[in-house]
A and B are shown apart, each in its own frame.
Chain A
Amino acid sequence: MSTTTEAPNETQEPREMRRLTVEEIVARTSTHNSLRDTVSQTITMAWRSLKKMRRNPEQFFDVIIQPLLFTAMFTYIFGGAISGSVSSYMPLIIPGILAQTALTACMAMGTQLREDMDKGVFDRFKSLPIARIAPLAGPALADVIRYVIAATLTILVGLVMGYRPGGGFVGTLGGWALTIVAAWSLAWIFTWLGTIARSAQAVQGISMMIMFPLSFMSNAFVKEDTMPDWLQAFVKVNPVSHVVTAVRDLMNEGRLTADVGWALFGCVVVVAIFAPLSVRSYKRHL
């Protein structure tokens, strides 16, 4: 067995260009990923998630069934009681359901990621020179397609049931887009959960505990002025409330109100906090 240098082998290299010497390879290594590398790796990871979704279509069940079921259910059950009639409840409830659907759709991120991270392929991701955010941001990017389906279906069901958004097409489009942005941002909370919890079940349990107060202790289904003061205090700081109000303003009135600003600001804050936290705890898993 030869323990000499690589030099003699270079000449025997048949197919490819001359093989680099170890020194050249070492000299070419980079000390970190550039932004361009990171973006490209994230997109590749998103491709992987999309492939996975296509082969496991049950991942789309929640975003298809829930808009169909919840929109009809909530509207007919609560419509009379809360707003006097179904048609007058629509402008209130459709944005509410949009936000709630977005929240439940992005909740799946944590469980999915936890399950994924326990698989062997993540060992390889860890051993490759890729940005530590790519395995997290890739799935998040691919998940946007689920939010698009959820938001689109909810609005369509509303339209079929007789909802006529006062904000017109542009306003509705704005509400739709804001819903998707909010879902993507809130998904980082669940991504973080996925990186810290020990099992997929644990993630599921904790996610539920976060999802229910966030969606129900908001103004998504009823106006907050019917609630006790202490609850109103929470409802007012709940980012979901701001999203709901913002979506209502956009869809019903076609107006860019302060709440739209607050909702977007809330999204930025959530991402700014939870994305770095997620990367940190993902790294610690190594």
Chain B
Amino acid sequence: MTLQRTPHAVKATGLVKTFGDFRAVDGIDLEVRRGEIFGVLGPNGAGKTTMLSMLATLLSIDEGQAEIFGVDVRREPHRIRQLLGVTGQYASVDENLTASENLWLFGRLQGVASREAKETAERLLLQFALEEAADKPISQFSGGMRRRLDLAASLITRPPLIFLDEPTTGLDPRTRGQMWDTIRGLVADGSTILLTTQYLDEADQLADRIAVIDRGRKVAEGTPEELKTSVGDSTLQLQLSDGADQALAIDVVRKVLGEEPVLTPESGRMNVALDDANRAADVLIGLRQAGIGISSVSVDKPTLDEVFLALTGHDTGESSDPTDDRDLEVAR
């Protein structure tokens, strides 16, 4: 047993997981520092859950190395399980038990004495605003309540590292905001968090650092700010009055800036990456001279949506299918 202090909560290199011929996780390196919220961002099927499961000892690691607080994941899975709180993508609580019975059960299984497990359950139910539902069977819980209970169940032993797999998927905006606050609270309490999400704004809001993964590979990593600047300093967002002018407008932008605009799926809408926000005026003048009408215009910091589009060459939507990329031209 080493008592050596490692600066990393998670350090993984070259992680690979294959299902048959399919490489669901295809050589991912990951470093999560202590005390941070690390966001793994990726569309459906990117390999987020698979990667978390490998780190959480739920799936074997086919290739590569992983350490959590200096403990080798492959060699000492039992110790890893004592360091982690895992909240999976789908609620993993017992439908046949009540909320407090669930928490008691998971406490007891982890060696917490019966009385103490009961007190911990009460405290957590209070903390997650579930005290009124304490004795209700889970089958009567709403999606948001389930998610909260699920998270509470991962915190019983106060693990130093918490995995959250899409913690807010399916929650309404208000509940989502509450979940964000809870997550921030956990970090303030000294925990390290590795979370996955499909929502760019969530990663932007919560994460100190983000890894963008797509089709099992990491395509970018950095702070939300870094990722945003990597696609230009600011973005000019244009909505043409007439979608038919699109081709003409692309020509104009190319002529003025020497770059292609990024088309979004909506008709007549395009984003233009700018090195310098002042160039926006040049584009607008060019459009006016070409007689192209504009219904709305804005200059903004790029959103993570645009980052994603620029990095992966396709939308964040359901499209892992390369044929969907046809109409998405990326300015580089």
Contact = CB atoms under 8 A, between A and B. Distances in A.
A124 B86 contact: yes
A37 B58 contact: no
A10 B160 CA distance: 13
Contacts of B109: 41, 44-45, 125, 128, 130, 134
Given A3-B35, A124-B106, A129 B82 contact: yes
At the interface, is chain A mostly helix, strand, loop or mixed?
A: helix
Contacts of A125: 109
A29 B79 contact: yes
Contacts of A1: 35-37, 187, 208
Contact of A22 (B36, B69, B101, B106): B69
A4 interface: yes
Interface string A19-33: 100110111011111
A276 B190 CA distance: 40
B82 A6 contact: no
Interface stretch (B70-78, B169-177, B210-218, B291-299): B70-78
Interface string B70-94: 1100001011011110101011111
Interface in A1-23: 1-6, 9-10, 15, 19, 22-23
A128 B81 contact: yes
Contacts of A22: 34, 69, 160
Interface residues of B, number: 50
A22 B90 CA distance: 28
A40 interface: yes
Contact of B93 (A6, A9, A120): A120
Given A127-B81, A286-B58, A286-B60, A23 B3 contact: yes
A147 B203 CA distance: 53
B83 A29 contact: yes
B114 to A, nearest CB: 9
Nearest to B156: A128
A127 to B, nearest CB: 4
A280 to B, nearest CB: 14
A32 B60 contact: no
A123 B88 contact: yes
Interface string A114-145: 00000111111111111000100000000000
Interface residues on A, range: 35 or more
Contacts of B228: none
A236 interface: no
Nearest to A49: B96
Interface string A80-119: 0000000000000000000000000000000000000001
B82 A30 contact: yes
A48 interface: yes
A31 B80 CA distance: 9
A33 B82 CA distance: 11
Given A3-B34, A19-B158, A29-B82, A48 B187 contact: no
Contact of A31 (B37, B79, B105, B188): B79
Interface string B29-59: 0000111110000000000000000001111
B105 A23 contact: no
B81 A27 contact: no
B189 interface: yes
Closest 6 CB pairs of A and B: A129-B81, A124-B92, A29-B79, A120-B92, A6-B190, A9-B190
Interface of A: 1-6, 9-10, 15, 19, 22-23, 25-27, 29-33, 37, 40-41, 44-45, 47-48, 51-52, 55-56, 119-130, 134, 286
25 contacts: A3-B33, A3-B35, A3-B208, A9-B190, A25-B82, A26-B79, A26-B83, A29-B78, A29-B83, A30-B78, A31-B79, A44-B108, A51-B97, A51-B101, A55-B96, A120-B88, A120-B90, A120-B91, A121-B93, A124-B93, A126-B58, A128-B81, A128-B106, A129-B81, A130-B110
Given A5-B35, A25-B160, A129-B81, 18 more contacts: A1-B37, A1-B187, A3-B33, A3-B35, A19-B190, A26-B3, A29-B78, A44-B109, A51-B96, A52-B97, A120-B88, A123-B90, A124-B92, A124-B153, A127-B58, A128-B106, A134-B109, A286-B58
